[in-house]
Amino acid sequence: MTELTTRASSINRALDQIGDKWCLLILQEVFWGIHSFSAILQETGISRGVLSDRLKWLQDHDCLRRRGAGRNTSYHLTRKSVDLYHNALMAVVWEDRYFDTPAIQAVHLVHRSCGKPCTPRMECAHCHRDVDGREVEYHPGPGATRDVRDKKVRRRSSLSVDDVPSARSVYRNLINLIGDRWTANVIALAFHGLHRYEEFHRELPVATNILSDRMRFLVEEGIFETRLYQQRPPRHEYHLTAKGWDLFPWFLTVLQWGDRWCDPSGAGRPMCLEHTACGETLHGRVVCDVCGGELRAHEVDFTIEAAGQGRAR
């Protein structure tokens, strides 16, 4: 496996750890309380070999902890993976906005602090306005350097989200979209104002055929729209649609998780974000839309009726 270097990014670091489609599907099941190898196998539709590989990967990166042995083996969340809770909430919000996913309609969240059903929203921790990626500027942080990354060459999984049997896969369309690190990296770069193919390739030196495939996929999925900027030969820019911009809160949770858990040198965050609406450093908080209190995993009742699983916290 060859290596490449890219500008240091907490999003890239985080996605290199948990951004694979299978890893995201596994973590989603464990969040719902599915812990055994056989149950995860049944609910995700993953082959045994791939499941074994991803479970080991997630353990190696401290995102799952194994307990027991043999038939009594089970897999559980760690402090690191529990900290992805806000990421999961933002995934549910985006999925519900853009897809008619039956499982989403069966999801109910009740914020214990106010006792009310709620819809998560992301706000700026300073000014409490809703976070909009178009109101963000980026500045180098103390950890601004370059990262050495493995140049993975496997293509996007051919598994359709409709083939995942689990009724608890409540943000399966988002997983299908970003469950490939190159696709997710392209979206993340678009938030920085990149529009042209060569700009993406300069920042993300992946093979040209793979990058072209990902750009085409994002247009087909309605995340990008193309705009002609040159007639001869015809060349197009790629611009985020409203559907694409609405992914920003999900990516911000990835960045904040990466800042906390994926800093191998201890140098600090590679990038600082400024919220132009208030002029302060941006920290996104996921809050209850009723009382404004932060939604913490142990303070929210999270149920999904269609799965018949009862209450999960």
Reported as a single tens digit per residue, the pLDDT across 237-261 is 999 999 999 999 999 999 999 999 9
Contact 136, 191 (CB under 8 A): yes
Strands (DSSP E) contained in the chain are 3-7, 64-67, 74-77, 107-111, 116-117, 120-124, 136-140, 146-150, 224-230, 235-240, 271-275, 280-281, 284-288, 300-304, 311-312
Q: Tell me the domain boundaries of the chain.
A: 3-312
What SS3 state is found at 157? coil
Given pLDDT bands bounded at 50, 70 and 90, which one contains residue 157?
low
Given pLDDT bands bounded at 50, 70 and 90, which one contains residue 155?
very low
The dihedral through the CA atoms of 171, 102, 217, 157 has a sign that is positive
For 132-146, the pLDDT digits (tens) are 999 999 999 999 998
Contact 185, 15 (CB under 8 A): yes
For 24-69, the pLDDT digits (tens) are 999 999 998 999 999 999 999 889 999 999 999 999 999 999 999 9
d(CA 181, CA 199): 18
d(CA 88, CA 82): 10
Percentage of the chain surpassing pLDDT 90?
A: 73
What SS3 state is found at 184? helix
Given pLDDT bands bounded at 50, 70 and 90, which one contains residue 312?
very low
φ/ψ of residue 54, rounded to 5: -70, -35
| pLDDT, the chain, mean | 90
d(CA 238, CA 157): 24
